[in-house]
Structure 1
Amino acid sequence: MELLFVALGGAIFGLAARYALPNRAEYGVALVPAIGTAVAAVVWVAMTWLGMQWDSGWIWLIALAAAAAASAVAALLIGRARAASDEQLLAQLSAGAAA
């Protein structure tokens, strides 16, 4: 049950990162929240395999902080890469149309 809650927390951090950071028009609506969800769940399971108890505050802090960080990094990197790729493709298409 706790895995469901931590996954939901990761999705919420992913949504927050999607709408708080720039270039959100460059990628899909569900991409960053899905990354946050996956990271939170994987970190949670890894921490439980390492022996951390689910009622410890540290496991929650580590899993949700990892989800928030991964969501923010993914949103920034994906948005920047897609914007650069779109500009490059536009330049190529514009050069081809002018020739």
Structure 2
Amino acid sequence: MELLFVTVIAAGIGLLVRMVVPGRNEYGLLLIPAVAAAVTAAVWVALVWLGLTFDGGWIWAISLVLGGAAALAFAVLLPRRREKHDERMLQSLLSGKTA
């Protein structure tokens, strides 16, 4: 049950990151929250396998911080990468070469 709670909290953090970081018109509404939730859930499960208990504070802190960091990284890097790709695609289409 705690896995569900931490995943929902992480999705909320991801939504907050999406609203705060500029460039949010370059990707969909749920991409950044989904990244945060997926990374947090994966980290949570890995930490449970490593022996941390769900009622400890460290598993919550580590999982949510890493999920938030992944969301922030995606929110910052994705618009830059997409802008460069779109520019290359535009130049390719204007030159008559399709790749």
Asked whether the 8 Å contact 1:23–1:83 carries over to 2, the reply is no
Distance (Å, rounded) in 1 between the aligned partners of 2:61 and 2:31: 23
Q: Structure 1 unaligned runs (5+)?
A: none
**Structure 2 match to 1:64:** 64
How much does 1:95 deviate? 5.0
Query: Which residue does the alignment assign to 2:2?
Result: 2
User: What is the total number of aligned residue pairs between the two structures?
Assistant: 96
Match of 1:78 in 2: 78
Give the counterpart letter for 1:90 in structure 2. Answer: L
Q: Match of 2:15, as an amino acid?
A: L
Tell me by how many angstroms 1:86 deviates.
Answer: 1.8
Cα distance per residue 1:47-96 (max 9 Å; x no partner): 11100011110000000000100000011111110112222333444455
**TM-score, normalization: structure 2?**
0.88
User: Which consecutive residues of structure 2, in runs of 5 or more, have no partner in the other structure?
Assistant: none
1:41 and 1:80 map into 2 onto residues whose CA distance is: 27
Question: Are 1:38 and 2:38 counterparts?
Answer: yes
What TM-score do you get using the length of structure 1 for normalisation?
0.88
Match of 2:20 in 1: 20
